[in-house]
Amino acid sequence: MRAVGVITEYNPLHNGHVYQLQQAKALTGADCTVVVMSGNWLQRGEPAILDKWTRAQLALQTGADLVIELPVFYAMQPAHLFAQGGVRLLAELGCESLVFGAEHPDLDFSQLMAAFPSGREAFKQFNATYATLFNAALKTATGQALTKANDMLGFCYYVANQRLGAPMRLIPMQRLGSDHNDTAIQGDQFASGTAIRQAALAGNWDQVERVVPAETLAQLKSNRLVSWADFWPHLQYQLLTTTVDRSGQYDQMAEGLEYRMQDMVQNASNFEDFLAQVKSKRYTYTRLQRVAAAALLQLTTTEVQTAQARPYLRVLGFSATGQQYLHQVKKSLTMPLYTKINKDLRLHELALDYRAGRVYELINQQHQDLYRRPWRFTDNLG
């Protein structure tokens, strides 16, 4: 069997994602579609609107064959590390190709990668946010800047794949519909995840229904929807009661940001107000959200970097095809493969994901790791 990979968040799964799953097999002729999906905390430093098990179920119902969780120590990182984690897991599973959406799929990502100076040394001459640093260095080296989120992520996939010895063929495809950050549902078939989340949280179901599969609509209407607002009291308590020395150890905290965050949390009225007070030209809102999430989950830089050196494969669900593919590649895996969590795993190998899940449970009220086994698409998923 041959497999194609997709790296995603499905926050929530919408019509554009269904189209991508369909095209992934059509473009590659693969027998099995492997999805590496972020868990309950996402790349932009925010909680998923639906938990990882619900989103994995939706993926299986709409075309995925095997769903693997992208661990929190990769999922909640800047684009280059997010991409590194996803590509590493897909390559480990023997995927021959990776299909990803891009605003400009006709870009020569390979050429851009070859011309771009590698390593963080290229950024030291600049004094701005990471995205600005990246594009300034890229523009200097190649004459081309990547200003769209999925184009930049695609570039990072190419870099990650190259560093692994190019085990996969990368296939960009045109991203359909609204821009990644559009906040309103304007079309009758495709919309951004941002717009869909806002409409769902507001209960505008007539709008949501136009741009998501029926299965997603049903889950959004029947589940407790989660947002940063739910966690604000917990974050506020965390920052008010910890020390500056401790908060300075949180992942992606840098350059005295811990002092600013602990000062501004004193009088902030909500999460949005807090971010607005902390915001400066040096940091994007996304970076600040990731730092806030790390503070909430008490993820330290040392913990994250240690965990990144010991990645694993956590199975969230599979179809009959996915189960067959797992059986085919299982003996060649060099990473641990987990289908359930026990006491030893939650204290050691899966400790960070377990912690992230327990915090998410404060709002979701559903077990995220203990007592959970992978979905089997043959088990009456709908």
Which residues are known binding-site members for ATP? 7-20, 101, 150, 175
Q: Report d(CA 304, CA 74) in Å as an integer.
A: 8
Q: What are phi and psi of 277, to 5 degrees?
A: -75, -35
CA angle 107, 152, 216 (to 5 degrees): 105
Q: Report d(CA 356, CA 98) in Å as an integer.
A: 27
Q: Crossing angle, helix 271-278 and helix 257-264, to 10 degrees?
A: 140
Query: Which amino acids are annotated as binding site, given as ranges?
Result: 7-20, 101, 150, 175
Q: Report d(CA 99, CA 4) in Å as an integer.
A: 7
| b/e burial code for range 284-313 (CB count within 10 A of at least 16 → b) | bebbbbbbbbbbbbbbbeebbeebbeebbb
Q: What single string gives the DSSP state of each residue in 224-269? A: ----HHHHHHHHHHHHHHS-HHHHTTBTT--TTHHHHHHHHTTT--
Q: Report d(CA 251, CA 265) in Å as an integer.
A: 18
Is 333 within 8 Å of 313 (Cβ atoms)?
yes
Output DSSP code: residue 182: -
